[in-house]
Amino acid sequence: MDLTRKWLNDKTDVSQKLYNLLDDEECSLTLYQESEKDECVIEVWNCIIDKDYLDFKVHIVKSK
């Protein structure tokens, strides 16, 4: 949430930091998704993860 506020308030690019949360060993977004039982909630996590990944890739392309 702090990263989201930072982006909203400062328009600071936080895509790399958000992308890093995908595979963080302690608090990964994918850990939440993998531990979920409800298929609907899993799909929501999939959308969040896909969006984060896409944002990161767009940032990489824009920075070239």
The pLDDT of residue 58: 80
18-23: long-range pairs with CB below 8 Å, 24+: 18/52, 18/55, 18/56, 19/52, 19/53, 19/55, 19/56, 21/52, 22/49, 22/52, 22/53
The pLDDT of residue 19: 74
pLDDT digits (tens, 9 = 90+) for 13-57: 666 777 777 777 777 778 888 889 999 999 988 888 888 788 778
Which has the higher per-residue pLDDT, 8 or 63? Answer: 63
The pLDDT of residue 28: 79
Has this prediction a pTM greater than 0.85?
Answer: no
